[in-house]
Chains A and B, each alone.
Chain A
Amino acid sequence: MSKDMLRRVEEAAGHLRGVLPELPDIVLVLGSGLGHLADRIERPTIVPYKEIPHFPVSTVSGHAGEIVSGKLRGRNVIAMKGRIHLYEGYDAQTVAFPIRVMRELGAKRLLITNASGGINPSFRAGDLMLIRDQINFMFRNPLIGPNADQFGERFPDMSEPYDKRLRGLALRVAAGKGIVLREGVYAGVLGPSYETPAEIRMLRTLGADAVGMSTVPEVIAARHAGMNVLGISCITNMAAGILGRPLSHAEVTETAGKVRHTFSELLLGIIPEM
């Protein structure tokens, strides 16, 4: 991370410190069609991305682009409603920028969600999947460039990108609420074209259970900065070639809409103990 990038992180964090009544412990990154959880935040302070200095602004429809900060089940949270993606043309450093800003504000936990395509044939559209591990198939890494020593080390360990304790917690909460929570490996791809059936077979061979176009850069940056991460995918569709029919973004948002209640219940159960 260049000196300039570091300065921008500090300026963005400085702005948020000025407008937020309380600093966050937990960052919520809400994926396609899953932004509604931010509406449950009590005494919310809402800050559009475009008001935060240097903050990248999302271009894809369905991603609102604002920060909602406040209390959720007694915890200080900050939700990123809408996120930016590599496929929008941003570099990986920029995609990871908001995570660094949140870390700079003192947040130590990241709860990250996404919509993804199911590769594991036992999955069904509408399933929720706890991310156990990830495969970076994006050909990008947010840590390329000079290292920002104040955030983390040059060669960060990735042996446990998704925190074991938090995964255990998520499984416990799910079981307690009678919610089926799958578990698997998330493969992050560049997009924006959906994968071909041959690519899905390849990813399956490589050990992936689900595929999507986000999450991986944010999680790398979060781990670099020593945050504990919990990741949950909403399987919004089965990936190309599995059901033998075309994929559409409409299907993704539709499925995400159907499971929003269950998803919220799960996250609301997890957050107090994160």
Chain B
Amino acid sequence: MTEQYHSATAPVLAPGHNNKSVTEKIAGVVLTQKTPKGWFIVFAITFMVMHAMVFSLGSLVVRGIGLWGINQPVGWGLDIINFVWWIGIGHAGTLISAILLLLRQQWRMSISRFAEAMTIFAVMCAGLYPVFHTGRPWLAYWLLPYPNTMALWPQPRSPLVWDVFAVSTYMTVSIVFWYVGLIPDLGTMRDRAKTMFGKKMYGFFSLGWRGSARHWHVYETASLLLAGLSTPLVVSVHSVVSFDFAAGIIPGWHTTVFPPYFVAGAVFAGFAMVLTLGIPIRKLYGLEDYITDKHLDNMAKVMLTTGLVVVYGYFLEVFFAFYSANEYEIAMAHNRFSGPYSAMYWALILCNFIVPQLLWIHSFRRNTTVLFIVSMFINVGMWLERFVIIPMSLHRDFLPSSWGFYMPTIFDWGAFIGSIGFFTFMMFLFIRGLPMISIFEVRTLIKKPAQGGGH
């Protein structure tokens, strides 16, 4: 890249490293170091938890969608909550790898790979729910517009159809971006692999990478183009998800601020998940030199900012309910404050509004314990937010005669908890098999002695 002019303040890589130490440390996590016991424990637990999902969804296929708690008037329950929650979590990866790359933020380098992997696994989890919600997942291809003898086409005015395109594009671009970013490191891994199997696998996937000037040139161009392609996706995917609700007229769904508010919420949730997984893994593998206080501080700041945008959304929802002077909108606000699910609403305010305000304090932003706790609150809070929006708006709409109550069943919870297991399982599989920090990018962060200038 051409000129890089940013102020380097706190280090994004601890001092005293050289090319060799960086490569050995990061590649060593996969290749030479003994796998920590903690890894096996987490791997085993998450593998078992994953089967809650396998069982729940398997039963659903066999016995039908009546196993879930959804019915009239709440046709969207935990399935859509989880879909939106997972899609949101994926957004940190795209933001870090695309937008921060274009903004030339160096601190992105050591967390991008990890966050991108999270994106892919989160989108995998997300995609499951709408597919199973169709009730006949083997017919899910009907969602795609293809010429068919039934002369049936998806309704192009429906945001649900836009979702199909938004999410599948998101998945495709995320995988390609992540894989392209891996190629130079796969070359390194191939060269360092001790086993024949490792040599063959890394060799195959590194596509003959030799690190020549030409290779690097092509690589830089490709990653810049992919970053440009991914950038609109950061905004568009969750905006389309927000249209699923805002395009309807249910009070609590139909409000114009939804798109930017959902996008902010997605980034908020995504960074919380990066910290939730990143903090223990950093500790487990002793990666404090690579994921430094600077990273924690920056991620906390992003969470604080996006969290405030989300709170701005909550505030506007309430303000406009009363400003509208519309009795249904006002009833919606009262239902949130004191209806049957009001505990969820107040828990949401605690998790997403009150607790994240701790991040205003400088020392808390660098304290892993505080950050981990705050990020857990946010994970819960963002799930609650979707609960407040989806079933809480649906269960009491215009006519009291059509009101109802929604209670998730054990199969709803099984699919949800199982997906958390699946996600964590995949993440641990990833850190065992691939370098979780970009080796070649971190190498560029090494300060060359007696050479203060630019790159």
Q: Do A and B bind? A: no
A residues in contact (CB < 8 Å) with B: none
B residues in contact (CB < 8 Å) with A: none
